[in-house]
Amino acid sequence: MLKFLLMTLFLMPLCFYKNVWHVLQLSVYLGGALFLFVSSTPGVLGESGYYFGCDVVSFGLILLSFWICGLMLSASQGIYKDGYSDNFFLFLVTSLLLALVLTFSSTNILFFYIYFEASLIPTLFLILGWGYQPERVQAGTYLLFYTLLASLPLLLGVFFFYETGGSLSLTHLYCHVYPKPSVLLYLVMILAFLVKMPMFLVHLWLPKAHVEAPVSGSMILAGVLLKLGGYGLFRVMNLVQIKNILYSYLWVSISLVGGVMVSFICLRQSDLKSLVAYSSVAHMGLVLGGLMTMNYWGMCGAYMMMIAHGLCSSGLFSLTNMTYERLGSRSILINKGLLNLMPSMSMWWFLLSAANMAAPPTLNLLGELSLLNSLVAWSWVTMSMLMLVSFFSAAYTLYLYSYSQHGKLNMSSYSSMGGTVREYLVLILHWLPLNLLILKSESGIMWL
């Protein structure tokens, strides 16, 4: 594991040379490829040493981090062309990648907490430095206070486990027998991850951050940073599982009802980016529901859905940005009739929208089926809400696609042009793994 961490660390000095954008971009892709081929999918805990290790969940999410960071640089070519602090931008992307790889590979719970929080700083700088509207300061404040306020009690929980278990190593803590945890300790341990996912009721920071962030910020937020919450729950659930059996109904109820509510919110959005951002909340609600059932289908489904949502949502954000760069607006009222303007881009809108509503043969379908299985097996009552969530997720995705691609073309858009090779490459690299991974799905379904 250390070789990949050092490789990412040594990319940082490269950021401050002139005209290294494409070199760094290729280096990130190369790092992802090396990680894929050198680390054969490990068993219980592979690549272990120096408090860093990698199991199947870490493996998939580290690979996703490399992939999305490479695609961020491909999608943000405008920053390089305009010379808008491009070196500092590269430095932030590389430091964010390093923080994510460190978070996903930490086997020490305190290291995990530190790197979990560290990933917030580059994201904040991305939103404040390259965001579009003056409201980005407010969005940054929301992001900072929501996540920090929920995360600080987690540090106290970590110290408590160190005091009672005598170690900070996750593998040691899993084997240690604890007295029955209190409700307060249970809340402290999972609240930070519920906000990060985000769970409905504590999700307000996410649409704000997405709408104000540049395309790279939105891609990394949707692609990887939301997955930190799910990954954190994977790791701490074993420590508080006795209490979770008692209270899981609460989180499942909130996430499913929240999924339906957010779907209604999606149906009345007039901003493309805001619609995709709210759809992320609905999808992550399903992931949270599956995780809280604590059964095999739920864990596997949550993992598959996190990978699938990371690729699909990131692709939709980059698509939205491509139309924004041409038309200068993200409003659905102006982004009409894009089928006339960019016919080949409409195909990508269709393919990624289909993935967003979990159409076969995408990985989203496999993740969603596993989650539906786990929730219905956990309780029959969830079926009513699951039907609504599934139906309305298709409804708002069709609304997004049909309203943006069909209709009367805005007359001011004639000065626009079709997609470039770079843009199609970004979209293909989002879509291909999403559809090919289902052919190799045993690593996601049969890993326990």
Contact 324, 413 (CB under 8 A): no
pLDDT 10s digits, 272-307: 999 999 999 999 999 999 999 999 999 999 999 999
pLDDT 10s digits, 144-160: 999 999 999 999 999 99
Identify the segments of the chain with pLDDT beneath 70. Answer: 39-48, 177, 413-416, 448
The 3-state DSSP class for residue 276 equals: helix
pLDDT 10s digits, 196-235: 999 999 999 999 999 999 999 999 999 999 999 999 999 9
Contact 259, 395 (CB under 8 A): no
Q: Which run of H or E residues covers position 239?
A: none
Kindly report the pTM of this predicted structure.
Answer: 0.95
The burial class, CB within 10 Å (0-12 / 13-18 / 19+), for 319 is: buried
Contact 107, 53 (CB under 8 A): yes
User: What is the pLDDT, as a whole number, of residue 121?
Assistant: 94
Domain boundaries, the chain: 1-445
The CA–CA distances, whole Å, from 175 to 105, 166, 167, 171 equal 19, 12, 11, 7
Cis amide leading into 13 (omega within 30)? no
User: What is the pLDDT, as a whole number, of residue 281?
Assistant: 95
Write out the DSSP string of 374-414.
HHHHH-TTHHHHHHHHHHHHHHHHHHHHHHHHSSPPPGGGG
Contact 364, 393 (CB under 8 A): no
Contact 234, 175 (CB under 8 A): no
> Is the dihedral angle over the CA atoms 127, 130, 131, 136 positive or is it negative?
positive
List of residues 6+ apart from 366 with CB closer than 8 A: 301, 304, 308, 438, 441, 444, 445
| Helical ranges in 166-240 per DSSP H | 170-175, 183-196, 205-212, 215-220, 226-236
The CA–CA distances, whole Å, from 383 to 112, 135, 294, 372, 379 equal 36, 40, 17, 8, 8
CA dihedral 190, 142, 104, 121 (to 10 degrees): -140
The 3-state DSSP class for residue 431 equals: helix
CA triple 445-243-188, angle to 5 deg: 95
The burial class, CB within 10 Å (0-12 / 13-18 / 19+), for 388 is: middle
Cis amide leading into 198 (omega within 30)? yes
Amino acid residing at 54: C
> Is the dihedral angle over the CA atoms 58, 312, 273, 21 positive or is it negative?
positive
| Helical ranges in 106-135 per DSSP H | 109-118, 120-130
User: What is the pLDDT, as a whole number, of residue 140?
Assistant: 94
Q: Which run of H or E residues covers position 365?
A: helix 363-378
What residue has token string 């692709």? 315
**β-bridge mates for residue 49, sequence order:** 52
> Is the dihedral angle over the CA atoms 263, 265, 266, 268 positive or is it negative?
positive
Q: Which run of H or E residues covers position 435?
A: helix 421-436
What residue has token string 């240690």? 176
Q: Buried b / exposed e across 68-81, counting CB within 10 Å, b at 16+? A: bbbbbbbbbbebbe
